[in-house]
């Protein structure tokens, strides 16, 4: 097969998604259910905004649950508030940027992006812009 015959959708890796307004608690629960260490944050129209990795969220979670032995009621309420806080309100550094590409692109169309932006997160979307997954770079490199 040539690079013009293979579409990116052949390298899609399903990934959980949460709305950008989801709380830290909801993000952690979604990651726990999926067994993965990352998820995609989407807007109200299910279009991808960025990637969140467990390693970037964990410090906020640990700060919320690390209470002194004799924590006051106010401290407990602060912890609950942190866990209920929307992820978008924590820190912009938690959400990694990603490049959104149509799943119908061929490898030939994609190759210039790969050369220009190594290490980039790529989200694949269908024809209406909804997330279908992320690009499985390991599988892609095996084909190349």
Residue-wise pLDDT for 16-30, tens only, equals 999 988 988 888 889
- Give the per-residue pLDDT at 81: 67
Q: What are phi and psi of 100, to 5 degrees?
A: -95, 130
Burial of 57 (0-12, 13-18, 19+ CB in 10 A): buried
CB neighbour list of residue 87: distance below 8 Å, 6 or more residues apart? 18, 20, 22, 23, 24, 27, 41, 52, 57, 94, 95
Percentage of residues in the chain with pLDDT exceeding 90?
A: 37
- The whole-model pTM stands at 0.78
What domains does the chain contain, in order, with CATH numbers? 8-143 (3.10.580.10)
Nearest to residue 15, comparing CAs of 143, 123, 139? 123
- Give the per-residue pLDDT at 24: 84
- Give the per-residue pLDDT at 114: 75
d(CA 37, CA 21): 19
d(CA 24, CA 78): 14
pLDDT: which is higher, 87 or 41? 41
Residue-wise pLDDT for 52-101, tens only, equals 999 988 887 776 666 565 655 546 566 666 677 777 766 677 889 999 99
């Amino acid at each position: 097969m040539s690079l013009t015959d293979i579409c990116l959708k052949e390298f899609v890796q399903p990934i959980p998604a949460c709305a950008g307004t989801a709380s830290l608690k909801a993000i952690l629960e979604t990651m726990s259910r999926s067994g993965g260490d990352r998820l995609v944050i989407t807007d109200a129209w299910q279009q991808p905004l960025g990637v969140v990795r467990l390693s970037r969220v964990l410090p906020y979670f640990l700060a919320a649950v690390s209470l002194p032995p004799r924590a006051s009621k106010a401290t407990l309420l602060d912890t609950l508030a942190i866990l209920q806080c929307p992820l978008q309100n924590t820190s912009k550094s938690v959400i990694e940027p990603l490049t959104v590409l149509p799943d119908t692109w061929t490898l030939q169309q994609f190759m210039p992006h790969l050369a220009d932006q190594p290490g980039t997160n790529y989200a694949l979307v269908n024809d209406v812009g909804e997330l279908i997954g992320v690009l499985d770079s390991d599988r892609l490199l095996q084909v190349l």
